[in-house]
Amino acid sequence: MADDDEYAALLARNWDEVAGRYEEYFVPRFRPWVVATVEAIADTELPGGPILVPCCGTFPELPLLAGRFAGREIVGIDISPGMISRAEQRAVPWSAARAVVQNAAVLDPAWSAACAAVVSVFGLHQLPAPDEAIADWVRALTPGGRLAVAFWPYETDATDPWGLADLLLAGHAPVRERSWEKSLAAAVTAAGATIRRDELVAFEMTHTDAAALWEAMTTAAAGALRATALRHGPEFMERMRQEFLHHAPTGEWRHRRRARLIVADK
Ligand X SMILES: C[S@@+](CC[C@H](N)C(=O)[O-])C[C@H]1O[C@@H](n2cnc3c(N)ncnc32)[C@H](O)[C@@H]1O
Q: How near is the Cβ of 121 to ligand X at its closest, in Å?
A: 4
Distance of alpha carbon 182 from alpha carbon 36, whole angstroms: 22
Q: How near is the Cβ of 103 to ligand X at its closest, in Å?
A: 5
Residue 15 as a binder of ligand X (CB under 6 A): the answer is: yes
Give the footprint of ligand X on residues 65-84 (CB under 6 A): 78-80, 83
For residue 45, give every residue at least 6 positions away whose Cβ sits within 8 Å of its Cβ, in sequence order, or none: 144
Residue 8 as a binder of ligand X (CB under 6 A): the answer is: yes
The full length of the chain comes to 266
Return the residue of 103, 146, 213, 240 that touches ligand X, per CB under 6 A.
103
Q: How near is the Cβ of 235 to ligand X at its closest, in Å?
A: 28
Return the number of the residue (33 or 214) whose C-beta is nearest ligand X. Answer: 33
Return the number of the residue (47 or 163) whose C-beta is nearest ligand X. Answer: 163
C-alpha atoms less than 13 angstroms from C-alpha of 36 in its C-beta half-sphere: 22
Q: Point out which span in 66-74, 101-109, 196-204, 230-238 binds ligand X (CB under 6 A).
A: 101-109
Positions touching ligand X (CB under 6 A) are 8, 11, 15, 27, 30, 34, 55-57, 60, 78-80, 83, 103-105, 121-123, 126-127
